[in-house]
Amino acid sequence: MQVIDRQNKLRIPSESEMELSTLSSRILSSVQNSDRETQTIKVESSNGEEQSLLIPTFAYELFIDILSQMAQGNAVTLIPVHAELSTQQAANILNVSRPHLIKLLESGEIPYYKVGKHRRILAQKLYDYKSNIDAKRSQTLDELTAFTQELGLDDD
């Protein structure tokens, strides 16, 4: 994730922002009521006036995730699921080279379409692929762990 300021420039959190994000994410996590569909937060305006907001629990959790990433010094970006991504953006999300991504596109593993000569990938399709690959990797690791334990090669 990337922190993008209002002028769409990438911005890494400062040390003080990292510390504040650490504290804020811990407090928000500790007071969260996951059983509810909504969460209440209070905000204070510049004139000191307090106002309560009711937000979806999903948005509350997303806010905690953003703060957690900032606490680690990571940049954060939000990508709408309907966004159209360039091949370079998609490659960056998958942490692969652009030529490798193009092979995935041309083999049909990730759906895409062309706008003129340019390939475009819907963010939702890319994240579907990523979730599928991550699940396969996790299953393979579980199988390897079980096999290692069967052979008595584990450290236990």
Regarding pTM above 0.85, the answer is: no
What is the structure's pLDDT at 156? 58
What is the structure's pLDDT at 89? 93
Contact status, residue 130 vs residue 122, Cβ threshold 8 Å: no
Structural element, H or E, at residue 113: strand 113-115
Task: Say which amino acid occupies 117.
Answer: K
Tokens of 73: 């010094």
Min mean pLDDT across 10-24, 26-40, 48-62 is at 26-40
The label of the residue with tokens 């606490």 reads 71
In the chain, domain spans: 15-71, 84-150
**Contacts of 85 by beta carbon, 8 Å cutoff, 6+ apart:** 79, 93, 120, 121, 122, 123, 126
Contact status, residue 67 vs residue 25, Cβ threshold 8 Å: yes
Report the topology of domain 84-150: Multidrug-efflux Transporter Regulator; Chain: A; Domain 2 (1.10.1660)
